[in-house]
Amino acid sequence: MSVARSNASARSRTPAAALLTVLLLVLLAAGCTGGDGSGPESRSSSPSGTGADAKVLAVKIDNVAPARPQTGLDQADIVYVEQVEAGLSRLLAVYSSELPPVIGPVRSARALDAVPPSAAPRAYFRGPERPAPHNLYLRPERIPYAASGTEAVEALGLRFGPAPPGGRAEESRTVRFPSARTTFTWSAERGRWLVSMDGSPARTSEGGRLGAATVIVQDVTVRPSAFGDRSGNNTPFTETVGSGTAHVLRDGKAYEARWARTSADADTAFTTPDGERIDLASGPLWIVYAPR
State the pLDDT at residue 82: 96
DSSP-derived secondary structure letter, 278: P
Identify the CA nearest to 239 among candidates 258, 255, 218: 218
Identify the CA nearest to 183 among candidates 169, 195, 168, 200: 195
Higher model confidence: residue 38 or residue 191?
A: 191
User: What's the predicted TM-score (pTM) here?
Assistant: 0.84
Tell me the domains of the chain and their CATH numbers. Answer: 20-154 (no CATH), 159-221+231-291 (3.50.90.10)
Q: Are 59 and 123 in contact (CB under 8 A)?
A: no
pLDDT tens-digit map of 112-153? 447 888 888 899 999 999 999 999 999 999 988 889 888 999
pLDDT tens-digit map of 164-217? 999 999 999 999 999 999 999 999 999 999 999 999 999 999 999 999 999 999
| Residue 40 pLDDT > 90 | no
| Residue 24 pLDDT > 50 | no
Q: Are 33 and 9 in contact (CB under 8 A)?
A: yes
State the pLDDT at residue 109: 64
State the pLDDT at residue 213: 98
Work out the mean pLDDT of the chain and round it to a whole number. Answer: 83
CA distance 86 to 101: 31
pLDDT tens-digit map of 217-252? 999 999 999 988 889 999 999 999 999 999 999 999
Identify the CA nearest to 59 among candidates 128, 124, 153: 124
Q: Which amino acid is at 99?
A: L
CA distance 105 to 205: 11
- 288 — alpha (psi -120 to 50), left (phi > 0) or beta? beta
Identify the CA nearest to 246 among candidates 281, 217, 268, 280: 217
Q: For the residues 71-83, what does the mean pLDDT come to?
A: 97
| Residue 54 pLDDT > 70 | no
CA distance 124 to 158: 32
